[in-house]
Amino acid sequence: MAFDSIGEILEIIVGFAGLFGNSLVLFVFFRTRSLRSLINLLIMNQSLIDVTTSIVFLALHLSPPILLDSESKWHRIFCSVWLSEYPLWALLISSAINLCCITLDRFFAVMFPISYKKTAGRKGIILAATVVFTWTAGFIFDSYWAFIQVVTPEGFCYPSWRSKVLQGVVGFFIFTITYLAPLGIMAFSYMCILWKLKKQASLTSGTIEVSTLQNDPAGQRRPQLTQALQDDTQTKKTSKKISKAKSSVLKTMLSVSLVYAICWAPIAISYLLYNFGGYLDFTSRFYVVTKLFVDSNMAVNPFIYTFQYRQFQEALARTFGIRLGWGTRVTPATTRG
């Protein structure tokens, strides 16, 4: 079997995997009222962008090839807004921007918890602004791609730059917003978060030990201390449960960020070199493979949620009435409670 045929089959598999996986995520989130925190709503927006990307991706790859007329105005427009894959790349950029928004949400939640809690009343405004920004920014930032498309005399749709300097500037800008900036935001945010969590853990441990010794140095108030320790134990259990939930979200989004960095690296670097004067054949096997890496990113996230995100696992179990590996069977009736 030719490589082109294998590549096309893999692309279709990736497209349907992204469509099914993200549709499942959206279905579970919509069915579960408890998953209405800002972070979960942002994850829903991520899945909504990715499921739309999957639909556009499949529509582009399942449609038959079209030979264009370079003299036709409508054919040139069709080339610019559709055959160029402009909607697909715009949505992929929107997905990257939304992932940065999720990362920043976790950063402020951990680094500035008091200020973050004060914004709870404005959750709707923050969410609406984020959704509008993420969906429109991708199409605005990638609009240049539609404008540089031309229809060749042979009837193909292909990008053509009139200025090499402008190509280099725009190319570096796209590299920055799709890879350099997201990678920098993710790396900085999660390093700060891990440092803060490690610091909190050491402070909590030290406070408990010092408090125990100071409150009862000679064992004179053991009954009161016993009750205090019991209360402290209960508080610690509750705190530990909340901490585990936060840790689950952090681990999940850290995995999503790492997968993003891996999937986008080949095409981001090769496209940057192309805009700086390097060679890149948009019909080559190399380009198909690098694009397949990017496209697979939209299909991987649902699997990460399923295997790492505890809240999503529990919601999935309630939705379909299945038994969790660590607990009892949860019936669908509890889903909307």
Which band of pLDDT confidence, cut at 50, 70 and 90, is reported for residue 1? very low
pLDDT in tens, 208-237: 444 444 555 555 555 554 555 455 555 455
pLDDT of residue 262 exceeding 70, the answer is yes
The pLDDT, as a whole number, for residue 321 is 82
Which band of pLDDT confidence, cut at 50, 70 and 90, is reported for residue 56? very high
The pLDDT, as a whole number, for residue 95 is 94
Residue 248: Cβ-neighbour burial (10 angstroms; 0-12, 13-18, 19+): middle
Yes or no: say if 289 and 266 are a contact pair by the CB < 8 Å rule.
yes
* Residue of 285 and 17 predicted with greater confidence: 17
Residues 131-151 as b or e (16 or more Cβ within 10 Å = b): beebbebbbebbebbbebbeb
The pLDDT, as a whole number, for residue 337 is 36
User: Is residue 17 helix, strand or coil?
Assistant: helix
pTM above 0.85, yes or no: no
Question: Could you give the domains of the chain?
Answer: 3-208+240-334 (1.20.1070.10)
Q: Which two tokens stand for residue 310?
A: 């505890």
Kind plus residue range of the DSSP H or E element containing 131: helix 123-141
pLDDT in tens, 181-208: 999 999 999 889 888 888 877 766 555 4
Gap between the Cα atoms of 138 and 90, Å rounded: 5
Long-range contacts of 172-177 (CB under 8 A, 24+ apart): 172/272, 172/275, 172/276, 173/141, 174/141, 174/142, 174/271, 174/275, 175/268, 175/271, 175/272, 175/275, 177/93, 177/96, 177/97, 177/141
Amino acid code (one letter) for 191 = M
Per the listing, tokens 């497209």 go with 15
Kind plus residue range of the DSSP H or E element containing 150: strand 149-151
Give the mean pLDDT of 251-274: 91
Cβ atoms within 10 Å, residue 163: 9
Q: Which residue, among 246, 310, 257, has the nearest Cα to 109 in the 3D structure?
A: 246
Distances (CA, A) of 165 to 144, 159, 257, 271, 274: 14, 15, 32, 15, 12
Per the listing, tokens 């404008």 go with 147
The pLDDT, as a whole number, for residue 4 is 65
Q: What are phi and psi of 310, to 5 degrees?
A: -60, -45
